[in-house]
Amino acid sequence: MQGLNNLGATCSINSLLQVLYRNDKIKATILNSETPEGTITYELKDLFKVLESSSNSVNPGRFIHNFYEIFKNNFRKFEQNDICELYLFVIQKIHDETAISLTYSSNYSNIFDEHIYKIAKHNDFKKSKILDILQGSYLHSVECLNCGDINRTFEPFIYIDLDVNQESSIYDLLVHRFTNEVRCKDSWVCDKCKINSAYSKKTTVWKLPEVLFISLNRFQQNNIPIISNPKLNLQKEYSLNSIGLHYGNLENGHYVAMCLNKNNNRFYMYDDNVVNEISGEIIEKLLKSTNSYLISYD
């Protein structure tokens, strides 16, 4: 149960590192990667090896130094960073460093092949193991209410962003977001009938990733209870793996990570270099008083 020393406002980075390291699929992807020294993938692999061989808290000084060198145009030293933003930049960088180029046919004859081509195009026709496990995709549909023609677009994601404005479970928030159809009376010119028409639009999840990340954000600090759902039954069943959360006020505060140890099926809180076992009851209590968090299921 190795913690990570705080080197000056690095709690958000430490929490993300724990979330990534404590997921078996992500950890295996990093440890099996081959990239040159100085890349974020190499630095993660080096740190993960140290964590693997240590029974005590680890000083991530080398990783933190190189992290700020790699992302010097994105993050400043000794400033609190948003864990979701960190996650986006790190995963995108891993993809860029490890991806291989592939050729895809643009002559698709069905929606399934269309999805494959459109997502590949978004990824610049490059494929990586990290996106293989983390990337899902939305299907956005716009229907003309005059002729019924439906325009479809696909959009990839590596986490689903949900806003919390009422008491609910994560499952309920997902259902609310992806089952609501919005009817719009605004003027819109249909590509097929060429008429200014009202339209309806809807977003659904077309493809779920192997490891699902969800970002929860509150409009305000309102102590709305959120049920973290130890199990999520969507198109596949997910189990809660980790939570990276921020508590304190909306301007500053502190990040910690709560991760499942699959060897004993217990959750532990990683508060920088302090590691303690926690119960499900404590997790739910903490979720009432936090502002935002990044949750992973696999």
pLDDT confidence band for 79 (50 / 70 / 90): confident
pLDDT of 177 reads 86
Mean predicted confidence (pLDDT) in 71-89: 94
pLDDT of 217 reads 76
Q: Is the pLDDT of residue 292 over 90?
A: no
Q: Is the pLDDT of residue 229 over 70?
A: no
Location of structure tokens 């699929």? 25
Q: What is the pLDDT of residues 46-76, one digit of tens each?
A: 999 999 999 899 999 999 999 999 999 999 9
Question: What's the DSSP call for residue 219?
Answer: S
pLDDT of 222 reads 46
Mean predicted confidence (pLDDT) in 184-199: 85
Question: What's the DSSP call for residue 186?
Answer: S
- Of the CA atoms within 13 Å of residue 178, those in its CB half-sphere come to 19
- Calpha distance 222→225 (Å, rounded): 9
pTM, entire model? 0.92
Q: Is the pLDDT of residue 133 over 50?
A: yes
Mean predicted confidence (pLDDT) in 266-272: 96
pLDDT of 219 reads 45
Q: What is the pLDDT of residues 4-33, one digit of tens each?
A: 999 999 999 999 999 999 999 999 999 999
Out of 106-115, 126-135, 137-146, 230-239, least confident range: 230-239
- Indicate the average pLDDT of the chain: 90
Domain ranges across the chain: 11-297
pLDDT of 172 reads 85
pLDDT of 44 reads 99
Q: Kindly report the number of other CB atoms within 10 A of residue 182's CB atom.
A: 10
* Pairing of the two strands 226-227 and 168-169: parallel
Q: What is the pLDDT of residues 30-39, one digit of tens each?
A: 999 999 999 9
Q: Is the pLDDT of residue 226 over 60?
A: no
pLDDT of 117 reads 96
CATH superfamily of 11-297: Cysteine proteinases (3.90.70.10)
- Calpha distance 232→175 (Å, rounded): 11
Burial 77-92 (b: 16+ CB within 10 A, else e): eeebbbbbebbbbbbe
Q: Is the pLDDT of residue 221 over 70?
A: no
Of 75, 24, 76, which is closest to residue 52 (Cα–Cα)? 24
